[in-house]
Amino acid sequence: MSDTLILAHRRDVFRFTARFLGYTLLAVLLAVWSGPIVLVLITSIKSNQDFLAGPFSIPSHPTFQPYIDVWNSLGFSGLLANSFLYATAGSALAVILALVPAFALSRMEVPGKTFIFGLILTGLMLPQQTVLIPLYDTLRTLHLLDTKIGLIIVHAAYGMPAQILILRGFMTSIPREIEKAAYVEGATDFRVFYKIILPLSLPGIVVGFTLNFIAIWKEFVFGLVLLNSEENFPVTVGMLKLNSDRYMAVFNLPAAGLVISQIPIIVLFILTYRKIASGNFAGAVKG
């Protein structure tokens, strides 16, 4: 009996130790992840004097003046409007262009579709730097260099392979009994796609659009190289002004600008989280 108690005690000690180490590791990872975010938020509501007196201290007199200053000095409303246009139009166009290829590669017997799918996915392996010169020459030839429509097309083309990957995987998971019943009723491929696959793929479309929106919103290289006019700059390129000599000794303005630039992404995630989390087909097929 005593041996049993000793073994039970050792198991309890082992479980407690493992749980303690797990929580400790989780706390460390949380601190490493959230520390920079908290520091940026604190810096953004400090005066520059407070920051120089103690970069990691709690602000003695919190102020939102850095937000007002950076909004007015950078013309932040225009930068946000440009980024919203690029992210929304580029993501929507990428999804539209990916819908039909994803349907064909997931639901139809296309000759060589495995090779075609692999060829499309090579677009995910190309770093932005490797396509800058061809893109620059192409846009210049088409007179789309330093234009909003040109950058939207670039974002859409660059994001389309990822959209095909997401939508193909999502459409593949749709039960085939649904479309078989439609074919029995005489439906065409287009009607099956438009009336059945497309509505059931809405959560996948939301996922793809959201991820692409975030990727375009934080994109920097294409905007820097393919745009020259300040009125066309997205927020990531426009914030380069905060690194100029004028702001060399100012730390709260870049922090405030960074916080403002992330608000649309947070709002988008909050609005789409429920749709993303509920993306299932429960009840689509009667048992």
* pLDDT at residue 161 greater than cutoff 70: yes
Cα separations (Å) of 135 from 52, 81, 205, 230, 233? 44, 24, 27, 20, 18
Residue among 249, 253, 236, 222 nearest 63 (CA): 253
Is pLDDT of 149 > 90?
yes
What rounded mean pLDDT belongs to the chain? Answer: 84
pLDDT at 44 over 80: yes
Which percentage of the chain shows pLDDT scores above 90?
28
Say what the pLDDT of residue 284 is.
42
**What 8-state DSSP symbol labels residue 145?**
T
Q: Once rounded to an integer, what is the mean pLDDT over residues 2-12?
A: 70
Q: What is the per-residue pLDDT across 200-252, written as a single tens digit (0 to 9) for each? A: 888 889 888 998 999 999 999 999 999 998 899 999 998 887 766 555 567 88
Rounded to whole angstroms, how far apart are CA atoms 67 and 59? Answer: 15
Find out whether 183 and 196 touch, Cβ atoms under 8 Å.
no
pLDDT at 286 over 70: no
Instruction: Specify whether the CB–CB gap between 63 and 45 falls below 8 A.
Output: yes
pLDDT 10s digits, 23-40: 899 989 988 888 888 888
- Flag whether pLDDT at 255 surpasses 50: yes
Residue 147 banded pLDDT, cuts 50, 70, 90: very high
For residues 166 and 204, the answer to whether their CB atoms sit within 8 Å is yes
